[in-house]
Chains A and B, each alone.
Chain A
Amino acid sequence: MSDLASVDRPVVNRRRGARRPRSYERFNIHHRIQHFIMALGFTMLVITGWPLRFPELRVSQLGCSLVGGVEVVGIIHRVFGVSLIVVSVYHVIYLLVMFLRGHRSVAMLPSWTDAREAWGDVMFWLGRRPSRPRFSRYNWIEKVEYYAVVWGTAVMIISGIVIWAPTYFTEYVPAWVVSASVIVHGYEALLAGLAIFLWHFYWVHLHPDVYPMSMVWLTGKLTEGEMEHHHPRELEMIRARRTGAGGGNPSPDEGGEGEEA
């Protein structure tokens, strides 16, 4: 079991003058671009959607006057809404192309291992086990987050388009669909915002083992230390494959069992 106090945190360690360690690719350029546009769009959508969600707050009213009125805020919201739609389509096309090219990874698919790992985590949190489970490439929390984003984005895009063009949609669907979309858009946004800023940010920023953050969302690479601590089972598999392949000189950027591997 690795020592929690000496977990590799590259941002901190590099500042302390550590040597650049061997790295493992986790997110390729497509992943990083998608994540970056998603993160930017999401943040801007939360900020520009906030005033309409809580119009009675002084901060909402001041925010609107600051940028030139609620009309401008609405335009910005739609611009980033479109960027979110574009990046979602990009993601679907990316997955399709990878699938058709034969890069068929099951790393992100839910499995019984996830249930066991979730149980292991609960036991750890209750103090019944000394450490967290030995995770592979994607742990159960990351998978839940991924599917939550898929679901949430789909719901937000659909409800958002409906309330963007209500006159068009009411020609074909009952009026309650529009009213329901308004409710869904508001509450799903609240849920998504809280999930990202509480749950996601806890695991990728606030957690003592990663604070302030891992460089992986920018460089796409994890260090050996990070791999040992966060993805020991994946690292084991990579090492096993290497030795199985004759123990030759391994590429420092060799990926795991990911989609692009």
Chain B
Amino acid sequence: MKVTMHRCLTICLLAGWLLGPALAAAQQPAVEPADDGWDHERFTRQLTGTETCLACHGSYNPVVRRPDNPRHSLWVNSQLFLQSVHARLGCDACHTNIDSHGHRLAGMAPVRDRCAPCHAPEVEPLDGAGESPREQDLARMVELAGLDMTLTVALNACLECHPEEYEQYKTSVHGVSVLEHKDTDAPFCMDCHGIHYILPADDKRSQTNPGNVPDTCLTCHDQADVKARAGLTREVGATFEESFHGRRAMLGGISVAVCSNCHGTHAIYAADDPRSMVNQRSLAKTCGQCHEGAQLNFAAAFSHKSVSRTEQLGLYILKQIYQWVIFLLIAQFVLFAALDILQVYRRRRQQRKGGSVHV
């Protein structure tokens, strides 16, 4: 009888051990094709392709040797990738140069075996490079950032589906810095949006979520060396945090203004450029997005000028006066109260000793 009980228990435990993970796996969010006009057959094929890629790239950590890093990781967080906006596109939508079997890179001389592209990445120009202006841009990006071909083709893939954003970016300070001034500090698509884990902007983990936009921009705009090279002088990070916008953002406000609300996203221009949202001509309109009836004078109250001796002397003096007044008054409060309580207790002790307890 006891043996049977024991066996029952063992079977139950074993069943639990086997079924538990199975149930947990069944509860994993399945990527269901939505009825949104997509070519589901193509989608399924691509997803299968993605899963094939992730079988290696999402499980163990494949590394390749590169000039800058002998153990360059090719690992992809598959869980996060499958939540990204591009998951449905599949790997080969961006990595257009991957031969699904041979791992060959398009635009390179044909490789002898499947290992060569990773282990001996001799990068050659793209097919047709130098023909269209966009490909010239890409070639410049490659040259500038020392990008490998995979990344470059991925950039090309961004432009393929997002031509409007690219047109805006091309004329913006960031685009002009990259494409014309060959400035290696300036950002490409992926510097702001991320690479594999481009999540919808309303996802709190997205780099372009309002809660994360300041961090994304300040990655470069709070770097002293980057700012010095770009000729930027304002302490944009600190002054944003000081402002009501920054304070509300820190407190998790819903309706907060972050960098992009005032400066734009792809079409960011220098403040003295008439196209800029923060140009004198547009400031009233920019502030007016949230502050109904805002005038140019209103905008002047919310600059990135710090309250310092050099930038806003009057306000700096006001702040200093307040800090000193508060310090001195509080010091006096504490001193008087401490002296008072000492005297009260001293007198009580004296009275107790003297025994003159009498009113």
A interface residues with partner B (beta carbon < 8 Å) = 2-6, 51-52, 55-56, 60-61, 64-65, 69-71, 73, 124-127, 130-131, 166-168, 170-171, 174-176, 178-180, 182-184, 187-188, 190-191, 194-195, 198-199, 202, 206-209, 228
In the complex, chain B residues whose CB is within 8 Å of the CB of A209: 344
**Which residue in A61, A125, A166 is a CB contact (below 8 Å) of B250?**
A61
Task: Provide the main secondary structure of the chain A interface.
Answer: helix
Contacts A51-B251, A188-B322 known; 19 new A-B pairs at CB < 8 A? A3-B358, A3-B359, A5-B348, A52-B244, A55-B250, A61-B250, A61-B252, A71-B255, A73-B251, A125-B342, A170-B300, A174-B300, A175-B299, A176-B315, A178-B301, A180-B314, A195-B329, A199-B337, A202-B340
CA of A247 to CA of B241 in the docked complex: distance in angstroms? 69
Which residue from chain A places its CB closest to the CB of B299 in the assembled complex? A175
**Which residue in B251, B255, B301 is a CB contact (below 8 Å) of A166?**
B301
In the complex, chain A residues whose CB is within 8 Å of the CB of B250: 55-56, 61
26 inter-chain pairs at a CB distance below 8 angstroms, sorted by A residue, are A3-B358, A4-B344, A4-B351, A5-B357, A51-B251, A52-B244, A55-B247, A55-B248, A56-B250, A61-B250, A61-B251, A65-B252, A71-B253, A125-B340, A130-B347, A170-B294, A170-B297, A180-B314, A180-B315, A187-B319, A190-B326, A191-B325, A195-B329, A207-B341, A208-B344, A208-B345
Q: Give A249 Cβ to nearest chain B Cβ, in Å.
A: 24
Check if B60 is an interface residue, CB within 8 A of chain A. no
Per-residue CB contact flags for chain B residues 267-302 toward chain A (1 = under 8 Å, else 0) read 000000000000000000000000111110111110
CA of A55 to CA of B307 in the docked complex: distance in angstroms? 18
B interface residues with partner A (beta carbon < 8 Å) = 241, 244, 246-248, 250-255, 291-295, 297-301, 307, 312, 314-315, 318-319, 322-323, 325-326, 329-330, 333-334, 336-337, 339-348, 351-352, 356-359
In the complex, chain B residues whose CB is within 8 Å of the CB of A171: 295, 297
Are A191's CB and B326's CB within 8 A?
Answer: yes
Are A208's CB and B341's CB within 8 A?
Answer: yes
CA of A182 to CA of B337 in the docked complex: distance in angstroms? 31
In the complex, chain A residues whose CB is within 8 Å of the CB of B359: 2-3, 6, 228
CA of A126 to CA of B253 in the docked complex: distance in angstroms? 51
Are B298's CB and A166's CB within 8 A?
Answer: yes
Are A184's CB and B322's CB within 8 A?
Answer: yes
CA of A73 to CA of B244 in the docked complex: distance in angstroms? 14
Q: Give B279 Cβ to nearest chain A Cβ, in Å.
A: 17
In the complex, chain A residues whose CB is within 8 Å of the CB of B326: 187, 190-191, 194
In the complex, chain A residues whose CB is within 8 Å of the CB of B347: 4, 130-131
In the complex, chain B residues whose CB is within 8 Å of the CB of A4: 344, 347-348, 351
**Which residue in B333, B339, B348 is a CB contact (below 8 Å) of A126?**
B339
CA of A206 to CA of B68 in the docked complex: distance in angstroms? 67
Are A71's CB and B254's CB within 8 A?
Answer: yes
In the complex, chain B residues whose CB is within 8 Å of the CB of A125: 336, 339-340, 342-343
In the complex, chain B residues whose CB is within 8 Å of the CB of A73: 251
CA of A64 to CA of B255 in the docked complex: distance in angstroms? 14
In the complex, chain A residues whose CB is within 8 Å of the CB of B322: 183-184, 187-188, 191
Q: Give A151 Cβ to nearest chain B Cβ, in Å.
A: 12
Which residue from chain B places its CB closest to the CB of A177 in the assembled complex? B301
Known: A70-B252, A71-B253, A180-B315. A194 touches B343 (CB 8 A): no
Known: A167-B291, A175-B301, A202-B337. A184 touches B318 (CB 8 A): yes
In the complex, chain A residues whose CB is within 8 Å of the CB of B330: 194, 198
In the complex, chain A residues whose CB is within 8 Å of the CB of B348: 4-5, 208
Q: Give A24 Cβ to nearest chain B Cβ, in Å.
A: 17
Known: A5-B352, A194-B333. A170 touches B301 (CB 8 A): yes
In the complex, chain B residues whose CB is within 8 Å of the CB of A228: 359
In the complex, chain B residues whose CB is within 8 Å of the CB of A175: 297-301
CA of A167 to CA of B288 in the docked complex: distance in angstroms? 9
**Which residue in A52, A174, A198, A199 is a CB contact (below 8 Å) of B247?**
A52
**Which residue in B241, B295, B323 is a CB contact (below 8 Å) of A170?**
B295
Are B298's CB and A183's CB within 8 A?
Answer: no
Q: Give B326 Cβ to nearest chain A Cβ, in Å.
A: 5
In the complex, chain A residues whose CB is within 8 Å of the CB of B343: 124-125, 127
Q: Give B168 Cβ to nearest chain A Cβ, in Å.
A: 29
Q: Give A254 Cβ to nearest chain B Cβ, in Å.
A: 22
Are B315's CB and A187's CB within 8 A?
Answer: no
Are A176's CB and B314's CB within 8 A?
Answer: yes
In the complex, chain A residues whose CB is within 8 Å of the CB of B358: 3
**Which residue in B293, B329, B336 is a CB contact (below 8 Å) of A167?**
B293
CA of A98 to CA of B323 in the docked complex: distance in angstroms? 38
